[in-house]
């Protein structure tokens, strides 16, 4: 190329990208530990944490070790955790009755965390799939062919009040039943739990990316077992307008935060929700998203840290105010 050649340009965007310090000054989207929520799995017992095979680096914590993990996460600047119990088969039944036990595993975990790390925001899942033998998120109808919406909402409402009375900061109905946010909000207020927030799984899609999570919580589906069909209550992956309708309904019923799940495959939905709603927007980078990045990195096809950070930055850039991610601790530790 002719070394004398010079473009006569007054506008050169590369001037803003020419050094690390300049790129830092003009960065439009930043990711910090305070943007993250760490999902944590809890099991009974006092043994060592149990690795989740399909999710490298993720474990199921006994309560004692869970409290230590929560303290360390809080010290790293992560403001919240979301708890998911993994119960023994003997603790499950067809109606998920264990969800209404005031001494159930997740509530024992909440009490222990709140004693030791009172400033940490604790979020609990309001759904019946960890408690049912069939693995659905609610009660089945008479012939067992579908989830009974209204009967399920009645149980979930009692469950949410029980969690609030135990000290949970945000209850997170993830079931996708019609009307559950408004019913839960009314019940919480009647019970005097006006400060308990609702993080609604507003746009939860019937996704193929949930498999490792179901293994982690020991639900009725997982590897080598048939995948449950939850399409009568979770959203069709191709439905954009329906997702926005669900978000609008949850907001109108009193949700404090609305969420899109999964995150990475639904960045357009996150952006749509951000533009439509005035509420804080959460996004859940689910187990399958986490596992696929790890799997590709283990084969040497991707750089784990770079892809992890880029995937989270994309979710934030799309409009999420907070991100549930299994990468939370690693990001906070800058490793």
Contacts for 207 with CB less than 8 Å, ≥ 6 apart: 234, 237, 261, 262, 265, 286, 288
List beta partners, residue 284: 324
The tokens of 108 are what? 């024992």
Instruction: Give the active site residue among 92, 114, 230, 261.
Output: 261
d(CA 117, CA 120) in angstroms, rounded, equals: 6
d(CA 298, CA 30) in angstroms, rounded, equals: 27
Per-residue b or e along 151-171, where b marks 16 or more CB atoms closer than 10 Å to that residue's CB: ebbbbbbebbbbbbebbbbbb
Q: In what helix (H) or strand (E) does residue 268 lie, and over which residues does it extend?
A: helix 267-276
Contacts for 247 with CB less than 8 Å, ≥ 6 apart: 202, 203, 258, 273, 276, 277
Taking CA atoms, 74 is separated from 18, 36, 59, 204, 316, in Å, by: 36, 11, 18, 27, 21
Q: What share of the chain is helix, strand, coil (3-state, %, to 5)?
A: 45, 15, 40
At 43, is the secondary structure helix, strand, or coil?
Answer: strand
Instruction: Give the active site residue among 114, 204, 230, 316.
Output: 204
Contact 199, 111 (CB under 8 A): no
List beta partners, residue 171: 124, 198
d(CA 132, CA 119) in angstroms, rounded, equals: 32
Neighbours of 211 (CB within 10 A): 18
Instruction: Please confirm, yes or no, whether 261 is among the known catalytic residues.
Output: yes
The tokens of 226 are what? 């048939």
Contact 294, 243 (CB under 8 A): no
Contacts for 43 with CB less than 8 Å, ≥ 6 apart: 50, 60, 61, 62, 85, 86, 105
Active-site positions read: 204, 261
């Amino acid at each position: 190329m002719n070394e004398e050649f010079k473009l006569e340009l007054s506008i050169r965007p590369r001037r803003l990208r020419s050094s690390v310090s300049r790129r830092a000054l003009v960065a439009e989207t930043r990711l910090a530990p305070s943007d993250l929520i760490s999902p944590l799995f809890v099991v009974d017992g006092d043994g060592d944490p149990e690795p989740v095979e399909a999710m490298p680096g993720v474990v199921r914590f006994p309560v004692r070790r869970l409290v230590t993990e929560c303290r360390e996460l809080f010290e790293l600047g992560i403001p919240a955790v979301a708890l998911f119990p993994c119960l023994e088969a003997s603790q499950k039944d067809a109606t998920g009755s264990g969800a209404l036990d005031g001494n159930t595993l997740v509530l024992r975990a909440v009490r222990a965390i709140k004693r030791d790390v009172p400033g940490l925001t604790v979020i609990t899942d309001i759904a019946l799939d960890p408690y049912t033998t069939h693995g659905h998120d609610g009660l089945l109808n008479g012939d067992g062919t579908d989830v009974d919406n209204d009967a399920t909402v009645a149980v979930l409402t009692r469950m949410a009040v029980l969690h609030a009375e135990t000290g949970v900061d945000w209850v997170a109905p993830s079931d996708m039943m019609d009307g559950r946010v408004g019913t839960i909000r009314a019940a919480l207020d009647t019970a005097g739990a006006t400060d308990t927030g609702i993080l609604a799984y507003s746009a939860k899609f019937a996704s193929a990316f949930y498999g490792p999570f179901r293994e982690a919580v020991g639900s009725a589906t997982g590897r080598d077992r048939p995948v449950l069909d939850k399409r009568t209550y979770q959203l069709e992956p191709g439905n954009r307008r329906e997702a926005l309708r669900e978000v609008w309904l949850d907001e109108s019923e009193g949700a404090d935060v609305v969420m899109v799940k999964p995150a990475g495959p639904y960045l357009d939905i996150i952006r749509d929700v951000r533009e439509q709603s005035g509420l804080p927007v959460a996004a859940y980078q689910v187990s399958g998203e986490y596992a696929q990045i790890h799997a590709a990195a283990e084969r040497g096809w991707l750089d784990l840290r770079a892809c992890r950070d880029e995937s989270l930055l994309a979710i934030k850039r799309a409009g999420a105010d907070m991100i549930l991610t299994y990468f939370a601790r690693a990001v906070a530790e800058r490793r």
